[in-house]
Amino acid sequence: MKTIKRCIAVIFCALLLVAANVEVANAQCAMCSLNAENSTKGGNTQGRGLNNGIFFLLGAPFIIVSAVGFLWYKKFRNKDENKVYL
């Protein structure tokens, strides 16, 4: 049981370090990046809305996976607490 907790702690720390080391990435297609650049030069906020939409679509799968993982953890954690070790 201690090794499982240790593995989870190591994985969590590794993910935290990876998340802290974020660099700016140009991951838009040519049409999207051209549209975003031209709209911000003219003072419009369409480029900002496009980027916010991309971040929203990127974040949704992470939120879903996190919720499923949390529910899975809660479900199996309760089973271990009910066992009596002699």
pLDDT in tens, the chain (86 residues): 678 888 888 888 888 887 777 676 656 677 777 777 777 676 777 777 777 888 888 888 999 999 999 998 888 876 555 565 55
DSSP string, 68-84: HHHHHHHHHHHHHHT--
Residue 57: its H or E element: helix 46-81
Name the residue among 26, 67, 32 with its Cα closest to residue 46: 32
35 close to 50: Cβ distance less than 8 angstroms? yes
State how far the Cα of 42 lies from the Cα of 65, in Å rounded to an integer.
39
Q: Specify the pTM.
A: 0.40
